[in-house]
Amino acid sequence: MNLNIVSLDIPYPPNYGGAIDIFFRIKALAELNCKITLHCFYSDRQPAFSLEAYCEKVYYYPRKQKRITRFLSLKPYLVASRDSVALLSRLLENNYPIFFDGLQSTFLADKPDLIKRKKYVRIHNLESQYMKHLACSEKSIIMKMGLYLESIKYRLFEKKIGCFDFVFPISNPDKTFYAKYNKKIKTIPPFHGNKDVQSLIGTGKYILYHGNFNVSENITAIRFLLDNVFNGLDFSIIIAGMNASEKLSSFQNDKIKIVNNPNKHHMNLLIREAQINILPTFQATGVKLKLINSLYIGRHCLVNPKMIEPTPNLEELCVICDSPDHFITKIREYMEKPFNREMAQKRQDILSKILNNRVNAKLIFEEMKAY
């Protein structure tokens, strides 16, 4: 099969959630002999020659970020800034199906020139709800208003999902929402870079929370832990992630260590050597890839119900806590509980069925052939 993929961003390096999902899906489809013409929008990421190993051709299109008309558009800004005459022209050079990777990439999807084309879309998140949650977490009044407006625009824009021949949401809650607008829909779990469970057997010495602290959702989560959970514990705690020092340096003390901007190797080492990866969230949208990574390479994972809600099949691999006191009780229990081979094998058995990149790429491939 020949296929155009329109990506919301350059998916290499695969160092954040959206890029990870896109890159490893491209890789898996290429391994199924799908001949891919990749079209990437970009802002601050650079062209990546590594993508040419999996694609027949790769094209790049700058986002139109600085035009005031993009903010005034009825379409969400993250969609409106991904308009491109050059992209439309290239899509019209062939008659291949078009796979839009991310709702943000779909500006051209309902253009008259593309009405008769086979079109598919990968949904990474319930964007209107996600923007609303970001607005609730935001402190700046101007940013809060902007995010609420973006949420409203997404709610209107999401209704246009009916123009696609098939929709591939990342989670079941997202499927339930988007099925109102398109019945040709199937949940495909996230693609990722893990193969086998590599969790260390035995006992670690610290609790880890990790995330990108430029994202307000993660700031909300870590403040919940600092104010309600960590202050009731005597264990060593590490907080690691992008811009951790800028946001959280005032909380560092003898018990809490801040690790700022660790590279991939260092972050994976922190996850592997922790006794507990603690991962609450207050947004049950999309799927949190940091949970998947923690299950593949970490020991015990403590989460709240909203973290596991999009992927209920993973609940038996996690310790679910529904209150600060519950977190404290389970932390004290699991800090003393060695991670054993039976636990690792159970993870391998479940994860290899649910999160198998090749199997999930075949599901996408088969639906595209059928529609």
Q: Can you give the residue ranges of every domain in the chain?
A: 2-192+356-370, 206-354
| Type of residue numbered 272 | R
Q: Do domains 2-192+356-370 and 206-354 have the same CATH topology?
A: yes
> How many CA within 13 A on the CB side of residue 122?
28
Fold designation for 206-354: Rossmann fold (3.40.50)
- 344 phi/psi in degrees, rounded to 5: -65, -40
In three-state secondary structure terms, 38 is: strand
Supply the pLDDT for residue 136: 85
- Spatial strand order in the sheet of 2-7: 57-62, 35-42, 2-7, 98-101, 119-123, 166-169
Supply the pLDDT for residue 179: 97
Question: Where residue 250 falls among pLDDT bands split at 50, 70, 90?
Answer: confident
Q: How far apart are CA 259 and CA 267, in angstroms?
A: 9
User: Which one-letter DSSP state was computed for residue 214?
Assistant: T
- Tell me whether residue 291 is exposed, middle or buried, using C-beta atoms within 10 angstroms of its C-beta: 0 to 12, 13 to 18, 19 or more: buried
**Residue of 47, 42, 50 whose CA lies nearest to 24:** 50
- Give me the percent of the chain exceeding a pLDDT of 90: 81
- Tell me whether residue 178 is exposed, middle or buried, using C-beta atoms within 10 angstroms of its C-beta: 0 to 12, 13 to 18, 19 or more: buried
Supply the pLDDT for residue 70: 59
**Residue of 112, 275, 281 whose CA lies nearest to 207:** 275
Cβ atoms < 10 Å from Cβ of 163 = 16
For the segment 180-209, the average pLDDT, to the nearest whole number, is 97
For the segment 307-323, the average pLDDT, to the nearest whole number, is 92
Indicate the pairing of strand 236-241 with strand 35-42.
unpaired
Fold designation for 2-192+356-370: Rossmann fold (3.40.50)
Average pLDDT over the chain reads 94
Supply the pLDDT for residue 113: 96
pLDDT in tens, 52-104: 999 999 999 999 876 666 567 899 999 999 999 999 999 999 999 999 999 99
pLDDT in tens, 326-341: 999 999 999 999 999 9
Q: How far apart are CA 289 and CA 355, in angstroms?
A: 11
Q: Where are the alpha helices (DSSP H) in 10-126?
A: 17-31, 68-72, 77-80, 85-91
Supply the pLDDT for residue 174: 92
For the segment 209-227, the average pLDDT, to the nearest whole number, is 91
